[in-house]
Structure formats: C-alpha cells, structure tokens
Amino acid sequence: MTTLQWGGRFDAEPDAALLAFGSSLEDDLVLAPFDVQTSLGHVRALAGGTVISADDERALRDALLTVQREIMDGSFTAFARGGAFEDVHGAIDARVRALAGSAGESLHAGRSRNDQVATTLLLYARDRAAAGGKLALAIADALEARAADALERGTLLAATTHWQPAQPVSLAFWLDAAAQGFVRAADRFARVVNDAKRFCPLGSSAVAGSSLPLDRTAAAYALGFTAPSRNALDTVGDRDVALDLAHAATRAVLTASRASEEFVLWTTPAFGYATLGDAAATGSSLMPQKKNPDPFELVRAAAGRALGTYAGALATTKGIGLSYHRDLQETKAQIVRGTEHALAALDAFARAFDALRFNDDAMTAHAIDGYTVATDLADAMIAGGATARAAHTAVGERVLRAEREGRPLDATDLAAIGVPQAPLDGNASLAAKRTSGSPNHDRVTESIAGTQREIASIMRELA
C-alpha cells in the first residue's frame, strides 16, 4: 500500500530527500487524536449524504476507533514513523485503509487535506486552550490562596519601581497582583476555546467545496461546532484561531516569566525573601553550596521561545494568498511547538511556585527601607492644605537630610513638615490608604474575593 495520498498523474517516484524535507510527521504526531476526531466527523458527513453505505460507515468507524486506541497505547506512533508519510493525516488514512479494507478507500471521498488539517487544528486549539486556561486558573488560584494566608500573617513588602524601593505594600497585595495576570491569561484562552467552536471547515474540500452531497451540518454538530464554515476559499487557509492560541499561550508564559524574574531575585541571599524547596531547585556540578532556581529561569527562557515561534507563525502567513498554500505547514509546526512548550512552562511554573517558601520576617524588615513611606508624608501634607509640588519638595528635603544622617524618617521629620500623625511604618501606611485597588487590608480582602469569583466564572466557561 502506498504511503502517499497522491501519485496517479506522476510517472516517477518522488525524490526521497525532498519528500523527507516536506514531511511534517514529527510535528504532527501530537495532532493524531484530533485528526481521528476529524475523520469520524467526515464519516458522519459521508453517511449523512448517503455517499457511503451503512456497512462502510461501520467499517470506517471501527477502523478509526482502533487507530484511536493505537494512538493511546503508542503503537500508532511506531507505525507512522515506520513509513515515509508526508504527515500524520496521511499516516492515519493509510492505517484506516489497512484496517477497513475496501471501505477504507472511501474515507477521503469529498475531502482534501486542506479542510482536514484546518478542522484538526481547530480541535487541537480547542483542547489546548482549555488546558492552558485551566493551568492559568490553577496558578491564579494558588497565588490567591497564598495571598489570603499572607494577609492573615500581616507580611509586609517594599514594592519597587525601577527595582528601587517605592512604597510599602503587603505580600498579599503582591500575590493578588500576580494572580491578575494569570486570570487575564485564562480569559484569553477561554476566548480561543469559544472561537474554536464556531465554524467547521469540513466539507470545504480543497478550495471550492464538493460535488458530493456531504452532510456538513451533521459533521459540524458531531464535532461540537456551531455550524459549517461559510466560504470554502477562506476556511481552508484560515489559521486565525490557531494563531490566537499561540498568542494566548505566549502571553501566559510572559506573565509567568515576569513573576519568575522576581522569584529568582527573591531567592538570592542578597534579598533573602524566599527559598525554593529541594524538589524544585538544582545544584552545581562544581560548587557544592549552590541551590539554583532553575525552573523559574527556564520559564523566563520559555517566554523567549514562545515569542519567537509566535512571531514566526505570524510571519509565515503574511505573504500567502487566499486558500491553502504549503507555507501553512510551517505555521502548523510553529503553533504546535510553541503551544506545547508554553503549556509545559506553565506547568513547571505551577510546580516551582508550590515549592517556594516566603521569608516573612525578611520581607517585613525591609518594607520601609529606602524611605518608602515618603509618599505618605507628602499625602498627609496635601491633605492638610499644601500643594502637591510644595509637599513633594518638603518631604524630599527631609529624605535627603535623613539619608545624610544615616537614619530612617522619624518624628522629627514629621514635626518639621507639620504632619505629626503621618505614617512612619508599613502597617500605618497601608491603613492610611483610601482608594480601591490599594494595599489597604480591607481593599486587598475585597480584591482576593473578586478574583476568586472571576476564577470560578472562567472555569465554568472552560468546563
């Protein structure tokens, strides 16, 4: 049995090296279970249009379900790698023909790999976006759980801008802030899931639909789509949802990368804000004392890889016309590689975060270092009638004096600027905050509760 799905009009064998160059099998193997689903949908379209008999429908379904089991136990991968297949789609077609006999010769009736691949990618995007969204929500939930604990402990932290001490906040406030990015990441994944359920490409064939009476609606419903796609010329080359998946995955890893950057710094002796458990840390082959936060560093690197593959996928689509062009094979590979690595990075981040332990005393001890309460003093002056510029200048002068004298801001500074009740410690600074979204204990409590409700809502969308 030939491994190629074409060849009748050719009178010479293809160049083996060029055939190998054009093969996407290794990149495609992850798509195998989704291609089986697509093929089962196409069998429904064939049967619904009476293109095949009931006996052939049963034979094709049985063969595809066998392939599905072989994918699960790994034997299909060995079969696919053992043949000179162009892609996983051709490998499945060949295996079905071997299992179903003459009925297998009808599986590809009215179908092109163009609509087959487009449908398979949508099913893949739906599955991986749901997985990515649940991962992002699990991370957000873990951050919020740790935030609630940190709020009870009253751990303080010097928030930074430009990596310089800025204002006192609570560790709970920082953790709640980090959770927001993962909630947004989950929401982007959820939108991909919804978009991947809209229009089914099956039945578009190569570019202009089919003369066979395929039941496209039955196939679409069987595969969980709302309706068949409207224009065959568009749908066979449309990769918007797959690109949106790559975008959502990239953005999620960027979110994890930003948090990882802080955790890498926090675990250094210079900060001493956190330690990473042995199960997540690694050592040095030379230096016996080393304990490295490698998972967080690799998550930062994964963000770079995700950015590169996403940019490559976008660039591959920019210069091709409507309908299918073989360039899209590279887009498929980039999307699959980028998505799989991004999801692995999110999982690694979640595991490493679970092994991270915070040093509350070190954080709290440094919460007002660098004169982080200076803004509170300026605010107190403004509340007392000073202009913003005058307050800024007056407090700045007191900071300069305290810095030269090697001391923190104290009651003498409050007396000098006329605000004897202004906050001088981290807890007083937080208590003085009045706006929503601030690190005030009550406002953080509200934010955690609101975020947890949002997590639950998005999880219902992904269920």
169 forms beta bridges with 157
Contact partners, residue 256, CB within 8 Å, separation at least 6: 139, 182, 299, 302, 303, 345, 346, 349
Q: What letter would DSSP give residue 54?
A: H
- Please tell me which residue in 102, 162, 211, 285 is annotated as part of the active site: 162
Distance in angstroms (rounded) separating the CA atoms of residues 34 and 120: 5
DSSP string, 251-305: HHHHHHHHHHHHHHHHTSTTT-SEEE-TTT-B--SS-TT--B-HHHHHHHHHHHH
- Please tell me which residue in 284, 325, 436, 457 is annotated as part of the active site: 284
Tokens in use for 109? 């009736």
Tokens in use for 242? 């797959």
Q: What are phi and psi of 158, to 5 degrees?
A: -85, 110
Distance in angstroms (rounded) separating the CA atoms of residues 118 and 121: 5
Helix axes 171-195, 441-462, angle to 10 degrees: 20
Is 284 part of the annotated catalytic residue set?
yes
Tokens in use for 76? 């299909």
Active site residues: 162, 284
